[in-house]
Structure 1
Amino acid sequence: MTRHSKNSTANAVYTYHEKHKDSSTGGYGTTQMRLSKDAIKEFDCCNLTLQPCIDPVITKDGYLFDKQAILEYIIHQKKLNARKLREYQKQLDRKQQEVEEQNANDHQKKINKFLEKEATYSVNQSVKNLLSSKHQDQSLSSYLPTPKSTPSSTSTRISTYDDNLDEILSSSTASTLSNMIGNQATQLPSFWVPALTPAAKKTELIKPDQHVYCPISGKPISMKDVIDVKFKLANNADKKNRPLVAVR
């Protein structure tokens, strides 16, 4: 006989102990537990303070509260709702400002693009005019006798070309190495600046609910919905003279 057949898990019957254990660990089924006395409040105690009610009131669902305690709770919840509403309004204003800034940036980009095109068009026109005038000069010079070039003029022309080439190379190198040209002029190159450090994404707020809900039932509650209660002492039923019956 193998060892597995001797284990309790090899039983063909689903025992009560295994069923109860699976229910408790799985989170389904009926769970029964014996509660101690301190887990159950007294009949005349408030559901918020867990103390005997001085001025008892009751909700439509039958939950008992002290009038001062439930009033303070409602006022506190209204303040929280007002604060959440202000934060939500600030978020809406911030979004509106971001949209306006984005629209302004897009408009400015369009203007800059238009100006660049205009500048390019004017440069092209000047180049065309220069080329046309140069072509006319060449056509006129073709009718004139060409003077003989001397070595000195050739060397001068070569040196001038070399100087211009050096200037072009130096300017292009400076433009590529500089971080303050073009669109980079408005960007901060220092990654340690607090504005460039990564930050957590802001939580998106939803429109808060302005209702005040009962702390026990979770249903909407207001002071006009609560009902005053008057307790009547039961004669010789309780040694502590605690109220046992509620009378309207």
Structure 2
Amino acid sequence: MLLTDTHTHLYYEQDLTKQAQLMERCLAFDVKRLFLPNVDVASIKMIDDLVSRYPENCFAMAGLHPCDVKEDYETQLSTIYQSIAQRKIYAIGEIGIDLYWDKSTLGIQQDAFKQQINWAKNLNLPFVIHCREAFDEVFEILEELNDEKLKGIFHCFTGNLVQAQRAINLGFYLGIGGVVTYKKAGLDLVLADVPIQHIVLETDSPYLAPVPYRGKPNESSYLIHIAQKVADIYQISLAEVAEITTANANKIFSL
């Protein structure tokens, strides 16, 4: 069985002994592919170091997280873009709009998002969207820039069925993480009406740990609990969930 975590910040753990233990637990639970979203300039080296230690398991992205879009965002974008020529990346991300923490930066978030979408198009890469309290704003930009090159993942999707279908119609997969295991979230009800061919699995570790670890630091090995919940929703085996969602990830990331 091969499970794919399409979104994990495992590189945040900089203690190499603890990092190795995290990876060992991943492999023990068949989580053998991990995609690493970039958030800022500083995380480039952390990601590259992890990829160099586990080249068969870890895959890099490049992007500026919307919460890190500040006054110096143009400089950050330039540095991140320049790094792409010197390393192998599989997506632009994570990028998008976040209006939960700071609505005042909406204008520059929108500009950074558009610039990075154009990177993805020019490089023929998918992009991974961070969208928090900003579905309308994100969809407005996606529909403005929509063409045959638009593709990627709505990371940590927690929207309703209408939003899910809108994302799918634009050519995006839904990234399903720990929230699907939360009783009151309602994401399981949304997925019941979304074919599994449109989803991928993720942890977003160290955030959003699934039940039974909710409220504790998340890790990629916990993807097994998310996969089991998805298996329950679709009434198929865990092995089938792993096979289908990994195939979806392979398609997105051109593996």
Q: TM class by shorter-chain length?
A: under 0.3
More helix by share: 1
TM-score of the superposed pair, with normalisation by structure 2: 0.14
Question: For the pair shown, which has the larger CA radius of gyration, 1 or 2?
Answer: 1
Larger relative contact order, structure 1 or 2 (CA cutoff 8 Å, min sep 6): 1
